[in-house]
Each structure stands twice: as C-alpha cells, then as structure tokens.
Amino acid sequence: MKRRPSTKQFSPVLCAILASGVSLHAQERAAQSSPVTSVQRGVRLVETGRCKEALLLLERGLPRVTDKALRYHAEMATVRCAMAVDDEQIAADMLFQLGREFPGDPEVLYVETHLFSEIGMRAAQVLQTKDPESYQARRLQAEALESQGRSEEAAAIYRGILKENPKLPGVHYRLGQIDLALAGDAGQTDAAKQEFEAEIAVDPTNASAEFVLGELARRKGVWDEAIRHFSRAAELDSGFLEAYLALGMSLTASGRYIEAKSPLEHYVKLAPDDPAGHYQLALAYSRTGDQADARREMALQAQAAARNKSTDTAQGHAVRQ
C-alpha cells in the first residue's frame, strides 16, 4: 500500500503554497456560507440583471441578516427581481414585510403603489384575453369608462350585466353612484335612490348603500328614515365612522339628544381630530344638561380645529416650497 507523502518531503516553498491554497479555499467556503455575504452578492446580481441567481441568494440569506440598512436594500431588490421574473407572490410577500419593518417609508409606499397597480393590470389583461365576454371582464370595462368620465357608456354596460345577472351584488350600487354624479348637488336623486334600494334588496349587508340612503334622507330632513339607514350602516360595519357621526347628527337634528350621545361618543373616541364630532357631542351634552361635559367637548373642538389649521398651513407652505 502506498503511503501518503508527508509534507516534510516537500520543499518549504511548496509547503507554503499548499497551506495558502487551503486557507483561501476555507475562506471562500466561509464567505459563501455567510448570510451577509450571500445577501450582498445577491444585491450585486440584481444590479446586473441576473435575477434568478439573485433571488436564490437573497431568499437563503435574508432571514439571518439583522443589519437594517442591508435588509432594506436586499428586500427592495427582491421585490424588483420577483416582478422581473413574474413571481408576484414573492414580490407581494416581500413588500408586505417591508411595510411591517419600515412603516411609512416613502419609497416603500411608492413601490407598493406601482407594484399592485401592475399586478392589477396584468390580471385585467389575462381576464380580457381568456374570457372577454364574462360579466367580470365587462364590469372592469365599465369601471374603466367611469374613471374616464364616460358615465353613460359605463351605465349601459352595467345594465346589460344586470339583465343577465339580476342578483349580482355591487352593480346597482355603481349605477346609483352614476345617477348621483349626473344629478349634481341640487339635482333629482330619485333614480339614484331606487338603485341603492335595489342594491340592498340584492345585498342586505351593503353598509355603503345604507349610508348613502341615509344621506339622501338627511339632506331632505326626513330624520326617521335617515336615522334608520345610518343605524343600519353602523350595525353592518362597526368601523364605518362616518355612519356614527351622521347618525349622531341626525338624532341631534331631530331633537333626540340623549340617543345622540352614544354614537357621537363612539365617533370622537376613534376620530379625536375631527372638530365636527366634538361640536355635535357638545351640543348633545348641552341639551341634556351635561354642561361640564359640553364645555370639555367645546374645548376639544377648538383644539382639534387649531391642530387642523396648523397642519393645513404646514402643508400649504410645503407645496409652495
């Protein structure tokens, strides 16, 4: 059996070369196994357009990277690369992760706007290609016409959809909105009201339709009807803050001050920066003899109005700059 030669048989120069080679190989393997190195290399690959290779490195290394700046750049690079290779799932998941780790970041919000817009456009193109006669494809077409101000053309498509699908939720609501827009502020709203009522007949859980019916009644001073619809909207959607404010205002306007306090208290608790809520609640307190609470709400109303004015002034200054 042949014995493995001892390094003692080699010259000192050759031994040094062999030792150097082993050291370099070990360093290379260590670098490849380092998550930071892996992620940094992935980011560089993104910059050269080698997205498939980059995604493998980024996916492997990112969970173990703690440096926030590196994570930010790597996650943004992952979003760009994922969209480039048509992997919308990875792009969306990473963007949601960016939103959690860097809430309110302007660049994240900018990319999010464009990414989801692009995903929506891709889905619409697939729908139009695969099933252009489906009611879903025609509904998208009608919505696009609405956004272009071509309301009557959109309404014609919506009505065609309803002929084939009379119990389809959401379409009567769209027609009601078109009728309201065509009527204007002082126009006839009977046609719109009929559409919103038809929407509720199809979908009794539509809080938005209930709210609009309440608003139409409020404008005419039909308080019992307005209160009924606003109450139903708030019942259907506990997060529908405008419904609580409108309900409180309608109860106050009809002289039902004790009943008005509960929805208004709920509103100001969740929307403390709206002066209108504090004013309406102060009115309800005052009319029911709660003068101390009324004074407190008037003070809060003044503070909220001052904050809003300060914000508007700052925003106006920023625009001028």
CATH topology of domain 132-204: 1.25.40
Q: Who has greater pLDDT, 116 or 5?
A: 116
Selection from 177, 240, 170 nearest residue 212 by Cα: 177
Q: Does domain 225-316 have CATH number 3.30.830.10?
A: no
Region 92-118: mean pLDDT is 91
Same fold, 132-204 and 225-316: yes
pLDDT digits (tens, 9 = 90+) for 63-90: 899 899 999 999 999 998 888 888 889 9
Residue 310's pLDDT is: 66
The tokens of 289 are what?
Answer: 């003899």
Quote the mean pLDDT of the chain. 86
CATH of range 30-127; options 3.30.9.10, 3.40.1360.10, 3.90.580.10, 1.25.40.10: 1.25.40.10
pLDDT digits (tens, 9 = 90+) for 232-287: 999 999 999 999 999 999 999 999 999 999 999 999 999 999 999 999 999 999 99
60 has pLDDT over 50: yes
193 has pLDDT over 60: yes
Selection from 31, 41, 45, 89 nearest residue 62 by Cα: 41
The domain locations on the chain are 30-127, 132-204, 225-316
Angle between helices 207-219 and 171-183 (to 10 degrees): 30
Residue 187's pLDDT is: 75
Which pLDDT band, with edges at 50, 70 and 90, does 33 fall under?
Answer: low
What is the C-alpha to C-alpha distance for residues 54 and 285, in angstroms, rounded to an integer? 63
Residue 321's pLDDT is: 42
Least confident of 46-55, 136-145, 211-220, 260-269: 46-55
Least confident of 8-17, 100-109, 163-172, 256-265: 8-17
Give percent above pLDDT 90 in the chain. 64
pTM of the model: 0.73
Region 93-120: mean pLDDT is 91
What is the C-alpha to C-alpha distance for residues 61 and 18, in angstroms, rounded to an integer? 31
> Residue 241 carries which side chain, given as an amino acid letter?
L
Residue 15's pLDDT is: 42
